[in-house]
Chains A and B, each alone.
Chain A
Amino acid sequence: MHGGGVMRLNPGRVWRALGVGFFLMLIGVGGTLMAVTVFPLLTLVSRDPVTRQRRVLYAIHLAFRLYCGGIRWMGVASIETVGTERLRALRGALIVANHPSLLDVVMIMAATPSVQCIVKAGLWRHPFFRLTVGGARFIRNDLEPEALLAACAEALREGRNLIVFPEGTRTLPGVRPKLQRGFANMAIAVACPVQVVTITCDPPILHKGHSWWRAPEKRSCFRLEVGELLDVGQFTHGRARPLAARRMVAYLENFYAEKLGYGHAGTRIEETDRRCPETGRCVA
């Protein structure tokens, strides 16, 4: 029944393409609606910036949980999580993940109640999103290195988690990326734990250069796996920060290379079998 024609249309496929389009639109529309309703309200009722931030972060967390639930419920994609209960309890850790899709940050924030991220400085000039990023006290990406480190350190010391994608930008499926060292320098400077997260999406959608209407034949399965909680002490051992950071980056590069099977020629079907357990939930 399957295989064959290029871009064969079937109802499931059309549904998933429209669904992806809808959920992409919802980020903008929903985000704007929340920016003009929920966030101003939270700003009004919480004068204290710390309380306001806690509430804004929690609202974002709930909104993204609802969002992921919607994607699952409407059958647009399946989302599997492994070990995410550890993200719920996580405090003051740097969360690092690979970055295959647009949904990555959404899935992590949906699983983690108190989490900040570093976002484009342009959003502070946006008429609506200004309140969201400001209220959440997200960290601007245009800060000087020292100021950026200080802002991240403050968030971590106060017990909030921080998401960083060391790949810097979304990656193409199957391409082995080089990791930036900023996250490692930060973790070592602050002496905070590093929570490793692995994300896969099979068949890939919402990756760099993917057009939303190109739904694959099979329903995509996102998988968020919470891995090791790294202690920076294992990389320092009396080494100065720049060298310890290089060790940590090398460790993670190897970890992801092995985990995601870069460089080894597995067939697509084997990979699918490995990623999606027997439950059959991923099979469209």
Chain B
Amino acid sequence: MTRDEIQISLAGYLTEMFEVPAEKVVADAKLYEDLDLDSIDAVDLVVKLQELTGKKIKPEQFKTVRTVGDVVDRVHELFLE
């Protein structure tokens, strides 16, 4: 998957699961502050991303994630692994 494809899938999850308005899902949007996610939402999102990548995501891989762009980067790395 390319970065763009990942970003599109992620935007789909965020609007579907958390009713985040699609236009807010931009690379530098902060998950907690700008998109109103909390730590429990983050766990749900990771589960969804595991389905997408087919790979197990360790919590520490997501500890430093702050923005939509960070998520895209991590998922992209997983696909490259």
Of the residues B17, B19, B40, B43, contact of A181 by C-beta under 8 Å = B40
Using Cβ atoms and an 8 Å threshold, which residues of chain B touch A242? 17-18, 40-41, 44
Of B17, B39, B42, the residue contacting A240 (CB under 8 A) is B17
B38 touches A180 (CB 8 A): yes
Q: Total interface residues on A, using CB and 8 Å?
A: 14
Q: Which residues of B contact A243 (CB under 8 A)?
A: 17-19
Instruction: Name the distance in Å between B78's Cβ and chain A's nearest Cβ.
Output: 20
Interface 0/1 of A246-280, CB less than 8 Å to B: 10000000000000000000000000000000000
Q: Check if A145 is an interface residue, CB within 8 A of chain B.
A: yes
Contact of A182 with B59 at beta-carbon distance under 8 Å, contacts A242-B17, A243-B19, A246-B19 already known:
no
Nearest residue (CB) in B for A184 is B40
Q: Given A242-B18, A243-B19: A146 and B38 within 8 A (CB)?
A: no
Q: A181-B38, A182-B38 are in contact. Are A146 and B17 (CB under 8 A)?
A: no
User: How would you classify the secondary structure of chain B's contact residues: helix, strand, loop or mixed?
Assistant: helix
Q: Does A149 contact B (CB under 8 A)?
A: yes
Chain B contacts for A180, CB-based, 8 A: 38
B40 touches A185 (CB 8 A): yes
A228: interface (CB < 8 Å): no
> Whole-angstrom distance between the alpha carbons of A145 and B42 in the complex?
10
Binding site secondary structure of chain A:
helix
B39 and chain A: residue at smallest CB distance: A145
- Whether the Cβ atoms of B40 and A145 lie closer than 8 Å is yes
B59: chain A residues at CB < 8 Å are: 144
Between A145, A240, A246, the greatest number of chain B beta carbons within 10 A of the residue's beta carbon is seen for A145
A241 contacts chain B at the CB level, 8 A cutoff: yes
Contact string, A225-255, partner B, CB cutoff 8 A, digits 1/0?
Answer: 0000000000000001111011000000000
Chain A positions within 8 Å of B43 at CB level: 145-146
Note all chain B residues with C-beta closer than 8 A to A146.
43
Contact partners of B38 in chain A: CB under 8 A: 180-182
Give the most central of B39, B42, B44: most A CB within 10 Å.
B39
In the complex the two chains form, what is the Cα distance from A146 to B46 in whole Å? 12
- In the assembled complex, the Cα of A183 lies from the Cα of B31 at a distance in Å of 20
Max count, chain A CB within 10 A of own CB: residue among B38, B40, B42: B40
Expressed in whole angstroms, the Cα–Cα distance for A158 and B42 within the complex equals: 28
User: Could you tell me the distance between the alpha carbons of A256 and B25 in the complex, rounded to whole angstroms?
Assistant: 31
> Which parts of B35-56 form the interface with A (CB within 8 Å)?
38-44
**Mask: chain A, 139-177; 1 = CB below 8 Å from B; 0 = not:** 000001110010000000000000000000000000000
Which 10 A-B pairs have CB atoms at the shortest separation, nearest pair first? A185-B40, A145-B39, A242-B17, A242-B18, A145-B40, A145-B43, A181-B38, A242-B41, A242-B44, A182-B40
- Besides A180-B38, A242-B17, A243-B18, 11 new A-B residue pairs in contact (Cβ under 8 A), listed by A number: A144-B59, A145-B39, A145-B43, A146-B43, A181-B38, A182-B39, A182-B40, A242-B18, A242-B40, A242-B44, A243-B17
28 A-B pairs with C-beta separation under 8 A: A144-B59, A145-B39, A145-B40, A145-B42, A145-B43, A146-B43, A149-B40, A180-B38, A181-B38, A181-B40, A181-B41, A182-B38, A182-B39, A182-B40, A185-B40, A240-B17, A241-B44, A242-B17, A242-B18, A242-B40, A242-B41, A242-B44, A243-B17, A243-B18, A243-B19, A245-B40, A246-B18, A246-B19
Chain B contact residues, CB within 8 Å of chain A = 17-19, 38-44, 59
